[in-house]
Amino acid sequence: VSFLLRFIYGVMHILTKAAFNQGTSTYVLNFYRHAIATMFLLPIAFAIERKTAPQMSYKVCLKLFVHALYGMSAPFNISCVGLKYASAASASAVINLLPVLTFILALLLGMESLQLKRFHGIMKVSGIVLCAAGVTVLTLYQGPELKSVVHYPLFHHASQVDTHPSRSWILGILLQSLATVLFALWTVVQGPLLEEYPSILLNTSLQIVFATVQSFFMALVMEGDFSRWKLSLDVGLVAIVYCGVFVSALVNYLQIWVIGRCGPVFLSMTVPLTLVITIILSLLIGEPVSLGSVISGALMVGGLYNVLWGKRIEQVALCKQGGSREHAACFDLEEQESGAPVPSTQDSIKPVPDSNDPNETRKGDSDRCKRVLSRLRGDATGDPEKGAPWGGVPMW
């Protein structure tokens, strides 16, 4: 699912960049995309979950409204304005900050830990430093454009922002970075919000409805020329329909689903694929790709996987520690049930008193643990007439 999300985002950057270069208003595009997503997703949500969805309080409704403001309507508008001043590849490169920003916000909110004296803590810090270096390179160094394999661009256009002047480039990168920070906040807060209202489909649909209303007023204020609200059969309409159906509707639903299943950090672990896909697609259709985007993307990808490597080492250590505690709990429980003392060390436990075989000892320990854990989980059943261990009654 995460790989599919990255591909959809890569295509989105190409299409929206082409639409903006052709003259499509960023604010109008975002309003239309959310409106299309609402028309696409809301009837499905109403048909599927109208009888099974939990009741929603005014407090949760207000939280969803605010959540949609800083997680959908605001970052999408800011990101699209930034994309207007920078290339699609650079926008994809900045998105690589999302995993590290998500980790930092989760750390501040107490959802993650950082131990600087341990190897996994050092790896996490080094990853953050590499990502910061990547953003610095992307902001200060544009570099020469890489030659495309296509000599005639697929989306031919004439625009004043094609060359990306230095000031416009920096503004575009800063806006993309701000949008990424807001989206990282949305990713972290979505988990607790999903616990308050667990219906994923209605959760997504209501956020999109609120984002549609918010985007409409943003477009009304920022785009007073109503002639730019008209739609025509061009790449702008293609971008609006694609972003509405696939990005605002499908991607937002899948993102919330992944957060609910695996957490916010897991969602962001495949983000570097967006940059790779965007660079490849840009070269194939003749869109400009700068050397600075490639270098910064490589730095941020390296930083990302340093953070993920550190998290993996930390999880392995926690699993080992948890396994040791579970093993000790097995023997403690057996001691309480039997009323006889059980040896505290694994090596001193022998299921057969007259056996000195270490393999038999380990086998006996394993069988004893499995038996006790089976009782804890309530998987076993018993018959009091046949001498069942606990009279045929589950422990809870």
- Do 339 and 243 fall into the same domain? no
- Do 123 and 20 fall into the same domain? yes
Checking if the pLDDT of 62 tops 90, the result is yes
Residue 391 in any domain: the answer is no
- Do 245 and 181 fall into the same domain? yes
Amino acid 152: pLDDT = 52
CB within 8 A of 217, min separation 6: which ones? none
Q: The domain containing residue 371 runs over which residues?
A: 322-381
CB 312 within 8 A of CB 126: no
Measured distance between the N- and C-terminal CA atoms of the chain, rounded to whole angstroms = 37
Confidence of residue 98 (pLDDT cuts 50, 70, 90): confident
Confidence of residue 216 (pLDDT cuts 50, 70, 90): very high
pLDDT tens digits for 240-296?
999 889 988 888 888 888 887 777 766 766 676 677 777 777 777 766 677 877 887
- Do 353 and 239 fall into the same domain? no
Could you tell me how many residues make up the chain?
396
**C-alpha distances in angstroms, 310 versus 107, 261, 288?**
14, 21, 35
**C-alpha distances in angstroms, 163 versus 21, 90, 145?**
11, 13, 10
Q: Kindly report the pTM of this predicted structure.
A: 0.66
Which of 390 and 84 is assigned the larger pLDDT?
Answer: 84
Residue 388 in any domain: the answer is no
- Look at the chain and report how many structural domains it folds into: 2
Confidence of residue 396 (pLDDT cuts 50, 70, 90): very low
Q: Scan for tokens 């009888």, then name that residue.
A: 51
Whole-number percent of the chain with pLDDT over 90: 9
- Do 55 and 127 fall into the same domain? yes
Amino acid 326: pLDDT = 52
Strand, helix or coil at 290?
strand
pLDDT tens digits for 122-151?
887 888 788 778 777 876 777 787 766 555
- Do 108 and 166 fall into the same domain? yes
Strand, helix or coil at 145?
strand
